[in-house]
């Protein structure tokens, strides 16, 4: 499969760029796969190739796009030519995007599959995430994963992925976009909270400690 042109699009995250090769990437509608390390990228010849480029921090594969997140020190003018070339080389090579024996799935997203034992509220939340919210977030080079719903408190737990995961405006996306829509269509929803990976949670905790220390220093 040959790629004639690759279009790069800025995302709300200054450290992430969305690349559209004009052909299928993961292929399945609404399906995304995130690689946060070179070791994890062994499951994808495409992601593995991109991680060879110095400065690449994360690779996120969507139905028809690739989002690359760089480290803070790297500069896009230096990275972009190598990224363009690597994507072109991958599709010219004839290799699959995902290794057949990798165990990585390109099936329908499991998080929003409606199960027989799901309550009506959970089913509505999953339907909205899959049909209204997920496509919009994928336009920005990211995705959202349903992590759970507390029937007693009305709290929805979501995990942001791709460009949205490390974006400065992720809280705005979560509150002004996702939370407002879910609360509008599903009255049982009272709040939406973001779920972090262990390392992300540690970073969040360290940031809060630093904020508190700075406030104490500035107080009279």
Task: Please report the domains of the chain, with CATH numbers, ordered by start residue.
Answer: 7-93 (3.30.1370.70), 120-198 (3.30.300.130)
Cβ-Cβ contacts under 8 Å for 13 (sequence gap 6 or more)? 69, 141, 163, 164, 166, 167, 168, 169
The reported pTM is: 0.74
Percent of the chain with pLDDT over 70: 80
pLDDT at site 52: 95
pLDDT at site 204: 46
pLDDT at site 205: 46
- Is residue 13 over pLDDT 70? yes
How far, rounded to the nearest angstrom, does the alpha carbon of residue 84 sit from its chain's CA centroid? Answer: 20
- Is residue 127 over pLDDT 60? yes
pLDDT at site 126: 93
- Is residue 103 over pLDDT 60? no
- Is residue 41 over pLDDT 80? yes
**77-92 burial by CB neighbour count: b if 16+ within 10 A, else e?**
eebbeebbebbbebbe
Greater confidence, 56 or 109? Answer: 56
pLDDT at site 203: 45
The whole-chain average pLDDT of the chain stands at 84
**How do residues 158-179 score in pLDDT, each as one tens digit?**
988 887 776 666 666 677 788 9
What value does the mean pLDDT take over residues 66-72?
95
User: Which range, of 96-110, 120-134, 143-157, averages the lowest pLDDT?
Assistant: 96-110
């Amino acid at each position: 499969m040959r790629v004639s042109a690759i279009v790069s699009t800025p995302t709300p995250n200054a450290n992430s760029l969305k690349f559209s090769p004009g052909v299928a990437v993961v292929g399945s509608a609404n399906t995304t796969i995130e690689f946060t390390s070179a070791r994890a990228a062994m499951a994808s010849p495409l992601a593995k190739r991109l991680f060879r480029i110095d400065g690449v921090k994360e690779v996120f594969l969507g139905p028809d796009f690739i989002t690359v997140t760089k480290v803070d020190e790297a500069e896009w003018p230096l990275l972009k030519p190598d990224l363009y070339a690597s994507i072109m080389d991958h599709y010219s090579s004839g290799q699959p995007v995902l290794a057949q024996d990798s165990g990585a799935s390109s099936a329908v997203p499991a998080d929003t599959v409606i199960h027989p034992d799901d309550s009506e509220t959970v089913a509505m939340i999953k339907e909205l995430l899959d049909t209204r919210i997920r496509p919009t977030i994928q336009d920005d080079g990211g995705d959202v994963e349903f992590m759970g719903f507390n029937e007693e408190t009305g709290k929805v737990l979501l995990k942001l992925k791709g460009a949205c995961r490390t974006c400065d405006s992720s809280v705005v996306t979560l509150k002004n976009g996702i939370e407002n829509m879910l609360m509008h269509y599903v009255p049982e929803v009272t709040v939406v909270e973001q779920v972090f990976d262990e390392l992300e949670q540690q970073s969040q905790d360290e940031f809060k400690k630093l904020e508190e220390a700075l406030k104490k220093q500035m107080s009279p």
